[in-house]
Structure 1
Amino acid sequence: MKLGRLNHIGVVTPSIPDSIDHWRDVMGATSICEPFDLPAQGVKVCFVDTPADGPTNGTQIELIEPLGEDSPIHGFLAKNPLGGQHHICFEVPDIHSAKSEFEAMGKRVLGEPRIGAHGTLIFFVHPKDMGGMLTEIMETPKDH
C-alpha cells in the first residue's frame, strides 16, 4: 500500500452555516463550496478549500452535518456536541486494489466501495486498525 495525497479531513458539525462562518471569519477561508445533501449517506456536506500547494489542489476540510437522527454521524455528534474531527481521507489510484491490499493486511474495511461526496469511489477502514483514526480511502478523481 502506497500512501497517496491527503485529500481532506472530515469534520462533523452541528451546523454547516455556523462552521462556514468560522472557517471564513476566523480561519480566513476564501473558497467554500455550496453545501449539498448526500441522502444515501445520511449527511449534508460542504467543502472548504485550503490554499493549493504547487500544481496540486490543496487539502480540503469536509464539513459534515447529519441529515436527521438516522444519520451514521448522529451518534458522533451526540458524544461530541460541538462536533470535531471525524476522519482523514487519502487518495489511491485504484480503489479495488487498495481494498484488497487492506484486507490482505487484516484491516477491517467497512463496507464495499461506494460513491462519496467527490463523486468517486470510497471506503472506510476501521479506526482500531488505523492507529485510532477512521480512515477514508478515495479513488483519485479522474480530473487530477
Structure 2
Amino acid sequence: MLGRLNHVAIAVPDLAAASAVYRDTLGASVTAPQPLPDHGVTVVFIDLGNTKVELLEPLGVDSPIAAFLAKNPAGGMHHVCYEVDDIIVARDRLKATGARVLGDGEPKAGAHGKPVLFLHPKDFQGTLVELEQA
C-alpha cells in the first residue's frame, strides 16, 4: 500500500528564520512560503532529490501547529508523509483494520494540490502519518 516517502515535516516557530538556516547554512534550495488555510499552516519545501523536508509554521491561532509548538517551543518533527496509489482505497483499508483517520475522514487538498489524509499518531508508534495520493 505505501509508496515512497514524500516528505518529513518539521514544525517551526519562525518560518523565515528556519528557511534561512536551510538556505544559508545548509545550502538548500527553499521554495517560497505557501499559506494553506484549510490546514492552518504556511509551508516551504526543501527538495532533496529523493524526498523533501517541509517546514511548517502556524497560520492563525487555531492552527494545529500552534498547539504542537506550545508543547515544543523550539519546534521539531511533526509528521511523515507517504505516497499511496489510491487514497480512498488506502483509507478504507486502514479504517477496516481499526486505524483512525483524523478529521472527517475525507481527503483534503494538500500543499502539492493532491488529496491528503492524516492518521492518528497513537495508531502508528507515536508518529503522525500523512498519506498523499501519488
- For Structure 1 versus Structure 2, the TM-score category normalised by the shorter chain is over 0.9
Q: 1:38 aligns with which of 20, 26, 36?
A: 36
Q: 2:91 aligns with which of 99, 107, 111?
A: 99
- Structure 1 CA distance for aligned equivalents of residues 79 and 59 of structure 2: 18
**What amino acid maps onto 2:131 in structure 1?**
I
CA offset at residue 75 of structure 1? 0.7
**Structure 1 residue 126 corresponds to structure 2 residue 120:** yes
**What amino acid maps onto 1:27 in structure 2?**
L
Tell me the secondary structure at the aligned position of residue 22 of structure 2. Answer: helix
Normalised to the residue count of structure 1, the TM-score between the two structures is: 0.88
- Structure 1 CA distance for aligned equivalents of residues 107 and 133 of structure 2: 10
Hey, which bits of structure 1, 4+ residues long, moved more than 4 A? none
**Structure 1 residue 83 corresponds to structure 2 residue 81:** no
Normalised to the residue count of structure 2, the TM-score between the two structures is: 0.94
Aligned residues: 132
- Structure 2 CA distance for aligned equivalents of residues 41 and 3 of structure 1: 23
Residue 55 (structure 1) aligns with: none
What is the Cα-based RMSD across aligned positions, in Å? 1.0
Q: Which runs of 5+ in 1 are unaligned?
A: 53-57
Q: Which runs of 5+ in 2 are unaligned?
A: none
